[in-house]
Amino acid sequence: MSRPEESVPPSAAAEPPAHRPFVPASAEVPELTPVPVVVGALLGILFGASSMYLVLKVGVTVSASIPVAVLSITIFRAFSRLFRVRQATILENNVVQTTGSAGESIAFGVGVTMPALLILGYDLQVGHVILVSVLGGLLGILMMIPLRRALIVKEARTLVYPEGTACAQVLVTGERGATTGKIVFAGLGAGALFALGYKALALFKDIPERVFGRWFDGASLSLEVGPELLGVGYIIGTRVALTMGAGGILSALVLTPAIKLFGSTAATPIFPATQLIRDMTPDDVWHQYILYIGAGAVAAGGIVSLARALPTIVGGAARGLGSLRGGAGGARAARPRTDRDLPGWLVGAGALALVVACALAPSLRINVLGAILVVAFGFLFVTVSSRLTGEIGSSSNPISGMTVATLLLTSLIFLALGWVSARDKVAALSVAAVVCIAASNGGTTSQDLKTGYLVGATPSRQQIAILIGTLSSALVIGFVLLKLNDASTVFARRDYPGFRADVATLPERARLTGPDAGLDRAEYHVLRLTEPRGGVPAGKYLVDDAGRIRWLEDPGINGSVDRREGGEKVSKFSAPKAMLMSFIIDGIMSQRLPWGLVLLGVCIAIVLELCGLSSLAFAVGVYLPLSTSAPIMVGGVVRALVGRAARVETEAEAESGPGVLFSSGLIAGASVAGMAVALAQLTEPTRALLAAVNLGRLAPKFAQSDGVALALFAGLGGILWLVGTGRLLRSPAVAAVPPGARPPARRP
């Protein structure tokens, strides 16, 4: 990690000497034109939607800046050849990637926090999600604008911004005539076709599984053949991927068999389960016990990672604020084009408007104190996020830890004030959500401004572009979140003869919705149980006028019922980071958790830390089913094999290498295909279409063969290895680092 420069008064001597951007400051070339902005907004929505799918599934996202830049170069070059118009300039392509990068950062912040409302038993309104997305996204950008000169310009030689530098290299390479767009498009096509093969056409099995017999009761091996998971494992790297896989192995081959071994003789259900352990499948054990152990490990891992990063966070905040106090000086009109930001009054007015909106918006349920916390934590963590992104890159930036800190402190303040109602829980989560999105978008904005600094963009135009990208993505991401949940929501018949609800206290009424709407057209009372009562597990139920439970509404996010009444299998979303947030809120404000299981997870995380290993990645692996962490581990192994065959000299080369580009395409293609299939379940005509194109019934033995599915997945991994090593879809050499930029050092 680089040593920060001393804060000095604003003067010519304080500026990094001899910075020469690719496009000189004196040059006026097309930049913020309508078509690049529209294309960037559409690509941002595409990658934002795929990132939302990914963060709900495994709790991580990958940066979209480089694939968006590659796609922009390719799209505009094809457009120019087809219609014989001028090619897009490097600054227009930069506007596309700046606008498009916002989608992924918004999706991460929303996916990490907002599903916690569903896990806590509340309904999630699309207007609430949109409002949080807009407020957090705009807050992150507005607070980053006055930091640009301090962090991007004054400390250009100490803050590397690896992804931003790599993206500048991609843009320069494209400007000089080379393009790697075919690799991203190939990944998009391969990921989409592979996912449709088992999700829509049912040509092969989605999760090959081996459940062991009586001699190892409860143990199982499984692997989801998801291209997006393979791509995630490749991008996050071998060490993290293998660590996550190790956590999955612990839960599937150690914890679950141990629970079955010692609990099989129990004559009564053991809390929090309501059935005997000897009657449980491995999946039942995971839902009833392992989930809480994993959540405890994730919570402890998040807090430990936050504690480890505290010195860096405090130092980063102090250095960032110290640099900011140095100021820029000089009249705006006298500055060169490459040094013009949006005016300070606009930043101040916008920040004030956002604070007022936080305090007054009824759906957020944030009072004046909550709005003050949003401003305080938002400014602190945007500053920290921007600086840490420059030092260690987006992939190592502890956004989740900052969110945990915000939620912990907010929940403790609310608890001390006696604010522990349902409204106060929503308010605490809303504060954390806005801050999380702001910190995430602040780091992304920093990378974009670094790219612009190197290629010679106009900062104010970049800032307008990312504001547009943030708004467009924020307006869509809420619908994506709710529709994904609705598509996987299951209404299951339930009957508890000894239980009667008092319907006079249940004013809310509802019907069955989504794919199960045709099962029952009656209207029922809504009963929400946040803890077991009278032998009825916690959950959301539909109750008739006599107070008898008729239906369980099991959500798509963190739900436990994976088959509909007709036997159709449904894919659920684990949402590990959102589960962590719900545990923090419920643990502090309600103090109602199966603490024995949670503390087992906490101790597992502590043991990992004492062994010198990062507990957070391992804890996420414990929380996720092995079927999800196993393909991520395979992606990490492929990355290691590629690394042995192809030497990578700098991190910028690694970030824009062919394997990463192909993996980005796999993630986007498979995620979008998965969303399309999931959303098709919401209407009767599209469900009928999916049933008609189900080709698996023509060759059922082939379609249900574990060996076939594993062989096809291995073949996809082999293709990724061929692309990563340059043996397939050979890409042009990466351009030299633009003038004035220092090549990034290797990440330790």
Using one digit for the tens of pLDDT, what is the confidence trace for 252-280? 999 999 999 999 888 888 877 878 898 89
More confident residue, 395 or 225: 225
* pLDDT (tens digit per residue) in 621-632: 888 889 989 999
Give me the phi and psi of 600, to 5 degrees please: -60, -45
More confident residue, 463 or 657: 463
Whether residue 146 has pLDDT greater than 80: yes
CA distances from 403 to 425, 433, 453 (A): 15, 8, 29
| Average pLDDT of every residue of the chain | 83
Amino acid at site 374 = V
Phi/psi-derived region of residue 640, left when phi > 0, alpha when psi is between -120 and 50, beta in every other case: alpha
What counts of helices (H) and strands (E) characterise the chain? 28, 7
Per-residue pLDDT averaged across 101-129, rounded? 88
What's the confidence (pLDDT) of residue 748? 30
What's the confidence (pLDDT) of residue 251? 93
Whether residue 54 has pLDDT greater than 80: yes
Q: pLDDT band at residue 650, thresholds of 50, 70 and 90?
A: low
What's the confidence (pLDDT) of residue 86? 83
CA dihedral 658, 664, 669, 672 (to 10 degrees): -170
Distance CA 606, CA 602 (A): 6
What's the confidence (pLDDT) of residue 452? 93
In 544-673, the DSSP E strands lie at 549-554
Question: Can you give 704-747 as a three-state secondary structure string?
Answer: CCHHHHHHHHHHHHHHHHHHHCCCCCCCCCCCCCCCCCCCCCCC
More confident residue, 3 or 187: 187
For CA atoms 576, 582, 583, 584, give the dihedral sign. Answer: positive
pTM: 0.82
What's the confidence (pLDDT) of residue 319? 57
* pLDDT (tens digit per residue) in 566-575: 888 888 888 8
Per-residue pLDDT averaged across 160-169, rounded? 82
What's the confidence (pLDDT) of residue 7? 33
Distance CA 631, CA 641 (A): 15
Distance CA 723, CA 183 (A): 8
Q: For the chain, what percent of residues have pLDDT higher than 90?
A: 29
Q: How many other C-beta atoms lie within 10 A of the C-beta of residue 646?
A: 15
Whether residue 181 has pLDDT greater than 80: no
Per-residue pLDDT averaged across 24-36, rounded? 90
Whether residue 184 has pLDDT greater than 90: no
Tokens of 167: 């993206």
What's the confidence (pLDDT) of residue 314? 63
- Spell out the domain ranges in the chain: 35-178+299-488, 490-554
What's the confidence (pLDDT) of residue 1? 34
Per-residue pLDDT averaged across 305-328, rounded? 58
CA angle 649, 655, 656 (to 5 degrees): 95
What's the confidence (pLDDT) of residue 2? 35
Largest interatomic CA distance in the chain: 82
What's the confidence (pLDDT) of residue 373? 85
Instruction: Name residues whose C-beta falls within 8 Å of residue 362's C-beta, 6 or more positions apart in sequence.
Output: none
Whether residue 736 has pLDDT greater than 70: no
Q: For the chain, what percent of residues have pLDDT higher than 70?
A: 88
CA distances from 97 to 10, 465, 616, 696 (A): 31, 9, 31, 40
